[in-house]
Structure 1
C-alpha cells in the first residue's frame, strides 16, 4: 500500500447536521456569502461558491432542534474554506465583523493565513488563503516548515478599509 492517491484529488464538499436550517443558511449564505443552489424539501439545502453544485450540504434530518456534541467526543473538528486571495480573506473578515461574529482564533501558519470561528451550531469553521508555494517556509533540506504564529488582524482588516 505504498501508492498515493492521485495528486489532483480534492475534497468536494462537506455535509453538516444542523439544528435549524434557516439559521444555518443565514450564516453560510447571509454572512459568508455562499449561494443557495438547491433546497431538498424543508430539511436540507446545498450551498456553493462560483456556481459549483455544492460545497456545503446542511440538513436537519437527524438533528432538528439538537445541540452540538459535548466536548471530548469525536466528530468534525472544523471545515475549511479556501479563499483565492488574501484580499478575499480580508473581505470574509469584514463580513464576520459586520455580523458581530467573534473569532475563536487567527493564525499565520507560514503556508497560509487562517481565521477560526464557530457556526451557529458550534461546528468549527476555518477561513483561509494559501500563500504561493514559492513563499512557503522550508528547512535547510527543503522540507515544509508550517508554523503557528499570531495573525496580524489589523493588517488584514486594512485591506478592506
Structure 2
C-alpha cells in the first residue's frame, strides 16, 4: 500500500490506540519506571509475569510482561520493532511536571524538539523501549504552509520555558 492510498472505507474519526503491551526483562524494574517516572497507576498484576498500568482510571494504557522476555536483552540496533510509545499530556504544565519526574530520577533525555504542533522529549525505559513525552499545542497555533497544509517542524525545544510551567 502506498502512502497516498487510503482504505475504503476509511477508519472512523474516533479511532485511537487503546494501549501498548511491552515485553520486558524485569517486571518490577519496568513497573518502577512507568509508575514512578511516567506517573501511571498500577491497575492490576496478572500473576507474577505481567502488570497493567494506566492514568485516570482507564483499564490500562500500558501492559508489561515477562512471558517471553524475562532476563532478556534489548533488540540490537538496526532491527525492526517498536520505535517509541508516545504519552500525550493534556497541558504544557502537565508535560513540565513529567519532565521534572524524569530529571529527578536521573534519567537522561535522548532528544527534545518543538514540532510546531507539539513539544516533545524522548528517552528510553530500562528495557530500551523508546518513550516520547509530549503535549499538543492548540490547533489554531499549528504552523501551516503557504497552501494551508500542516507544516510540522523539528526546532529546538525551549526547555527553560517549559520548566517554568
TM-score, scaled relative to structure 2: 0.95
1:45-70 deviation line (CA, Å, top 9, x unaligned): 00000000000000000000000000
Out of 20, 30, 35, the residue aligned to residue 24 of structure 1 is: 30
Matched, 1:75 2:81: yes
Q: Which runs of 4+ in 1 moved over 4 A?
A: none
Unaligned runs of 5+ in 2: 1-6
Backbone CA RMSD of aligned residues: 0.7
- The equivalent position to 1:117 in structure 2, one of 123, 144, 149, is 123
Residue 40 (structure 1) aligned to one of 36, 42, 46: 46
Distance 1:3 1:132 in 2: 29
Distance 1:146 1:31 in 2: 28
Count of aligned positions: 159
Q: Secondary structure at the match of 1:113?
A: strand
Residue 2 of structure 1: how far off its partner (Å): 3.7
- TM-score, normalised to structure 1, is 0.97
The yes-or-no answer on 1:129 pairing with 2:142 is: no
Name 1:152's counterpart in structure 2: 158
Q: Distance in 2 between matches of 1:98 and 1:49?
A: 20
2:104 is aligned to: 98
Identify the residue that residue 57 of structure 2 maps to in structure 1: 51
Structure 1 unpaired stretches of 5+: none
**Aligned counterparts of 2:74 and 2:132: Cα–Cα separation in 1:** 18
Distance 2:119 2:59 in 1: 27
Secondary structure in 2 matching 1:150: coil
CA distance in 2, matches of 1:65, 1:111: 39
Q: How many Å separate the matches in 2 of 1:157 and 1:135?
A: 20
